[in-house]
Structure 1
């Protein structure tokens, strides 16, 4: 039986985008629970919702989100099922970013199923 690998990869990627669309920012590796999520600031930190779109070859792309953050160092982003609470879905290390004062981080999430 032949398996259409490209079709399977895209189906898995499309399923990923149904799990969650809320982007978080973290001050350390969030592990499997979403620990070390940012907080505080003015305007206050909050998760932002991305809009997932399908690409091809096992890829889904999210729309860019702008996250308000207080001064601090940020090392990871996460994907959640809800704007607050919810289920932690996934994480990704980013280039460590240090803000000396209140600022913003622009994030464009992408998921690739290999």
Structure 2
């Protein structure tokens, strides 16, 4: 019988798998690359304009939300394509809804960025 790894070892392995998944997304998915570029740009803007702690909290939350949803959308697309590689109306609907979630978060993120940064230009 094989000895079971400790709780701590299992958590460290999980973090390793998550890190590997994040790197895979960044290396292979154009949508995540675009989101990462935007995240870096608004982070630089945050330092340049010296945004407040609350503005940082909201900005970082939006970056995390959009990028996380983009990652989940990618996962949904991969699962859907694996289950049904050829076009199917239901699979198309599932993929559209997942993409719609990213779109909603992205629109709200742009609005939040406008609320934070437009007053800085006045």
Task: Answer 1 or 2: which has greater helix percent.
Answer: 2
TM normalised by structure 1 equals 0.28
Structure number with the bigger relative contact order (C-alpha 8 A, sep ≥ 6) is 1
TM normalised by structure 2 equals 0.27
